[in-house]
Amino acid sequence: MSDTRPPLKSLADALAELLGRAEPQLASERVSTFDADGRVLAQDVISSLQVPPQDNSAMDGYALRCADVPAGGALLPVSQRIPAGSAGVALQAGTAARIFTGAPIPPGADAVVMQEDCEVVAVPPAAIRVMRVPQPGQWIRRGGEDVLRGAVVLSKGELLTPASIGLAAGIGMDTLLVARRPRVALFSTGDELVMPGDVAPERMKPGAIYNSNRFFLRTLLQRLGCEVTDLGIVPDRLDATVDALRSASAAHDLILTSGGVSVGEEDHIKPAVQKLGELGLWQIAIKPGKPFAYGKVGHAHFAGLPGNPVSSFITFLLLVRPFLRKLQGATDLTPQPIALPAHFTWARADKRREFLRVRRNAAGGLDLFPNQSSGVLTSMVWGDGVVDNPAGQTIARGDSVRFIAFAELLS
Return the pLDDT at 265. Answer: 44
212: confidence class by pLDDT, cuts 50, 70, 90: confident
pLDDT (average), residues 129-133: 95
Question: Which letter, b or e, does each residue of 299-337 get, where b requires 16 or more Cβ atoms within 10 Å of its Cβ?
Answer: ebbbbbbbbbbbbbbbbbbbbbbbbbbbbbbbeeeebeb
Residue 342 and residue 275 share a domain: no
398: confidence class by pLDDT, cuts 50, 70, 90: very high
> What is the distance between the alpha carbons of residues 169 and 175, in angstroms, rounded to a whole number?
9
What's the half-sphere exposure (Cβ side, CA atoms, 13 Å) at 235?
Answer: 5
pLDDT (average), residues 201-227: 87
Q: Has residue 105 been placed in a domain?
A: yes
Instruction: Please state whether 63 falls in left (phi above 0), alpha (psi between -120 and 50) or beta.
Output: beta
pLDDT (average), residues 245-273: 81
What's the half-sphere exposure (Cβ side, CA atoms, 13 Å) at 340?
Answer: 24
Residue 288 has pLDDT above 90, yes or no: yes
Residue 263 has pLDDT above 70, yes or no: no
Q: Has residue 253 been placed in a domain?
A: yes
What is the percentage of the chain residues whose pLDDT exceeds 90?
Answer: 76
> What is the distance between the alpha carbons of residues 362 and 371, in angstroms, rounded to a whole number?
21
Three-class HEC string of the chain:
CCCCCCCCECHHHHHHHHHHHCCCCCCEEEEEHHHCCCCEECCCEECCCCECCCCEECCCEEEECHHHCCCCCEEEEEEEEECCCCCCCCCCCCCEEEECCCCECCCCCCEEEEHHHEEEECCCCCEEEECCCCCCCCCEECCCCCECCCCEEECCCCECCHHHHHHHHHCCCCEEEEECCCEEEEEEECCCEECECCECHHHCCCCCEECHHHHHHHHHHHHCCCEEEEEEEECCCHHHHHHHHHHHHCCCCEEEEECCCCCCCCCCHHHHHHHHEEEEEEEECEECCCEEEEEEECCEEEEEECCCHHHHHHHHHHHHHHHHHHHCCCCCCCCCCEEEEECCCECCCCCCEEEEEEEECCCCCEEECCCCCCCCCHHHHHCCEEEEECCCCCECCCCEEEEEEHHHHCC
Of 110-114, 133-137, 330-334, the range with the lowest mean pLDDT is 330-334
> What is the distance between the alpha carbons of residues 279 and 261, in angstroms, rounded to a whole number?
11
Phi, psi of 121 (to 5 degrees): -105, 110
Residue 278 and residue 212 share a domain: yes
Residue 81 and residue 217 share a domain: no
Residue 170 belongs to domain with CATH number: 3.90.105.10
Residue 199 and residue 137 share a domain: no
- How confident is the prediction for the chain on average, in pLDDT? 91
Q: Has residue 2 been placed in a domain?
A: no
Q: Has residue 374 been placed in a domain?
A: yes
Q: Has residue 5 been placed in a domain?
A: no
Number of domains in the chain: 4
Return the pLDDT at 232. Answer: 84
pLDDT (average), residues 4-22: 88
Residue 195 and residue 234 share a domain: yes
Q: Please say whether the beta carbons of 186 and 214 come within 8 A.
A: yes
Q: Please say whether the beta carbons of 98 and 124 come within 8 A.
A: no
Return the pLDDT at 235. Answer: 81
Residue 400 and residue 384 share a domain: yes
Residue 160 and residue 201 share a domain: no
Q: Identify the residue with better confidence: 33 or 270.
A: 33
Residue 261 has pLDDT above 70, yes or no: no
pLDDT (average), residues 233-244: 86
Residue 118 and residue 241 share a domain: no
Return the pLDDT at 90. Answer: 97
Residue 304 and residue 217 share a domain: yes
Residue 95 and residue 210 share a domain: no
Q: Has residue 192 been placed in a domain?
A: yes
> What is the distance between the alpha carbons of residues 270 and 250, in angstroms, rounded to a whole number?
19
Q: Identify the residue with better confidence: 1 or 403.
A: 403
Q: Has residue 333 been placed in a domain?
A: no
- pLDDT 10s digits, 82-128: 999 999 999 999 999 999 999 999 999 999 999 999 999 876 669 99
Q: Has residue 251 been placed in a domain?
A: yes
Return the pLDDT at 25. Answer: 74
Residue 112 belongs to domain with CATH number: 2.170.190.11
Residue 213 and residue 288 share a domain: yes
Residue 367 and residue 303 share a domain: no
1: confidence class by pLDDT, cuts 50, 70, 90: very low
Residue 358 has pLDDT above 70, yes or no: yes
259: confidence class by pLDDT, cuts 50, 70, 90: confident
Return the pLDDT at 3. Answer: 53
* Residues spanned by the domain of 364: 338-405
Return the pLDDT at 82. Answer: 96
pLDDT (average), residues 187-198: 76
pLDDT (average), residues 269-295: 89
